[in-house]
Structure 1
């Protein structure tokens, strides 16, 4: 069975690790590297031949310490190299065996990438004689694959194979646990539209772990009246009904939120809500649904919750159309992501689809489609056309934009400091090659408004235009102001793109609003004036798309409502 995790393909394989074909095989064994004394390592050396043991004896005469990796050739195995590791026993170790396992998985993935490998195979480490609980082992392996894929989108690694030993009595359990963990990852949207992750879970809301679980029921808060509310009460205990009666003796109105403790549920709070049935006269069910979602997020923010789980509100006994529920839910998640509340403690939003619902698969498919349509780290503030140019101001992450050129401003020597966060992020993501190219090209310090062009290196873009701007309060000569310098810098960047001929799109951060302290309104106006001047002079340019990317953490973004394009 194969799953997709970022750019990685992850395959679950029942078999023997020593028979797997991969660039690298991971083997656990004793610290002295006498492989025949280990369970997995004995099979590895028997299949590889004595030459493998001899190589380890030569290179690692004293063995390895926990946390270290020994590397040998594969010899008669179907791999180029073997990574040898040593895990402690689960219960007898004075260390943290789960943490050691997690670190080993990440180190193996990173080392395989450094060695330009394209495939690596892991056994389900620790689950045999070492006594690791299967849930801890499978979670450690899958989570570190997820984390590696997120941090290393350009790695040479293309495939990770997880091998479940076919002679293990618990192989079906291991396969099921791994499959469930990886299936959840298929329905995972990291940093979807801003500062929070969105997870889609198929199952029972009462089994989902989150700070807040949202439970829809009747207006009188009598939880035993059936459906989701009754299932939640059975899992929580009768105390949750007692608290509802004590705090809300008159119940709640449609769209309101009643808050109780979670009791025996895997949450801190339960938010009780109520919706009218679809088609009731004098009601607008969709507006009430939207209000309910919004109010739940606001109350979760006030509670400083980190995560909240919603059921698919309205689908089921209330007969809400699936499409309308999904569209409304996704719309209000997007609205939250771009609102003044977006930079809150809420980092994870879970949508739970009840597995027992007759339209479970249809609901999940439509929800995934709607989320995929709007996936990304960008939310549009406005879009405008200036001559032949499409100009869009968005809220998002500059490094995630699919454009030909990124614009970066930094110090006079283009060496980022603690105050130049965007420049630091660009250099880090681009890799050492960009720093080397800058060093070779920059023989003297930049003047205000100068531009140095480098390749994109490990970034998604073709080129990066680097510049240097004065601080907002800098004293310049009479013919210059900080705003003029910024406007001319933007104009010159666009002109460079036009002259390159092959550049179709360019993305700029909110230049000037960081360490040089331009007020956001003046900075954006200067950028827009520079764009306007370029568009009017080069009406038939090959450059077609300009993005101005604003940081979602900037609390002054609302001032953009007053910015107008000439």
Structure 2
């Protein structure tokens, strides 16, 4: 079976991938070791994480409106707060008025430095703005007079009911503070977002209810006296928040007094991509039936339109006048010329006749002539003030070009034209006869697509499936499950805030039952782009985590020492030096706390930029360093020849057959650093190690080979025995512990040696080995379930990965 390595992208997906292309390639490399090349897509720079990318423009859309008896008007809008036109907009601020992410950053960027300067002045005079309070600054360049900075409550992920009820009065107080600012500043209208929802973890539906109910209470009280005709706009850019506000208003304020019909645009089924002002489309059809400004024909210098199927079809539809005119146009026609005639009975204004030669004839390159002819037709269309042009598959017939050559040459010419064209929008269409399946397929090779290259068929297919599941289809909600979300720092959460505004989506971070992740809701294209960005954040977090584990692991086994440069002994730098040494590098340039140095492994010296030299030494502990693996690393995985293997379970394959699985391949894992630490732990833990199993997802296979088993890599569906690293005694238990997605193509199981030692029953709230016999200084080595088929350890150094077994379901399914 041929490897499928090209994923074509339609116009919508090109737009999506352009917003997250660099992050998409990072994810594929991190998760599957798969290299991805984006063709026909200009990927946004990752610097857009820092707020450089402008948020998507939202067309203002009023969803609800009501005027209450005492004059208060309340309406619900889907719009961008940075451009919404009212007297004041509300910023969801923090106590220090640091506009570092999300809505605060968007307003600060749009409004200019004036907002930040006034915010800093307020903090300098008052130290902070308390939760529930609000302050006012000028609006700078925004479409309003003032910005009201309201500080709503900030809850931890998955807050308890008690925490929510405790925070609710502060949210109510924040809304009242906004209304008080309106009165004080003599403002008549304000735009209020869903304060504290989303990344600040206040439940959206309850948030909407509190905001609307507070407005109702304000209206009904003395503060809402007759003729106090404020206009309150409840404005959000994401659909879930808008819907929540609509529901709350209907329930609390009454029926909508405003109606509107919304017509949503639908995307065409034609495979197309927009490149600057040029839209290139590929479709099956008949060129002579096209309704367009220009139809392109192909003929020979003899100008006989009867020769060739395309030319004859065009002539039959246009009429004999077409043949008469073309013969009168050119006295000495030659290869590469383009002759213009009227369209006559065709549904076009002009026909451009391209004079091509056979691929094997003539002194000039036929490919260059074909490429130049396409460009010439495009420039002629511009000079003739035409806005659409349709091409057949020029050269695929008697001229001798292969389908791939035709697709490649023609499309590359259009791409080159689009890079320089800055005129009115131009529609370019390749019309392929229904029988030309091969041309239609190979046209994808040079139209926008993602090209994948991986070290194995399994990795290739896993990468393709991940892209397909994430990018294709309409997703108004995507949930990313990755426990490395728990390692997100302040900058990561600020990044989430920026993404929420950038892509007009609603984000919710969760952590429950030992699983963490991010839920994304909003419009489909925005949700997909935001999901890729957040997946990339998780990949970076897991790589930072792995590097830290790797550094600590190597630091405990080998030390690079230099009397003149003690910084080399720090874990991170020590690991970098050790890995460079194992890789066989003669020299390695490092930056140590801002000091640039060159390490020469051949002479065992280090030199800084000032020419100062010193000796370096490599000191290994115990048996580490006596063995050196091929491949220039401290770990490797190599495929086992199952025909020669003496492992009984792989020879009979019975354990996997019973579960309806077929072994695809088995890889032996060797990690000399992990083995050394495992053997050291074996001296502490009593008893012989057990052979146990763990099921993991594809993206963590390489990480386990590299830094061993971690609780973040394979959390079970339920942590009934505690928050540790789970193993199973058999495949049945593994399949129950880790339930993968439906219809998955591959499953991955590690066989490991595990030091279980003294064990006891585990419980869900156990986070470390419990003490033995009540002695706080003596602990069990592991915990287990009642059946003893599940074992949980709390240190990755108690387990050593031996084999990675890749399986797939048999055709007959599970038994």
TM-score (norm 2): 0.25
Bigger relative contact order, structure 1 or 2 (CA pairs below 8 A, ≥6 apart) = 2
Kindly name which structure, 1 or 2, has the bigger radius of gyration based on alpha carbons.
Answer: 2
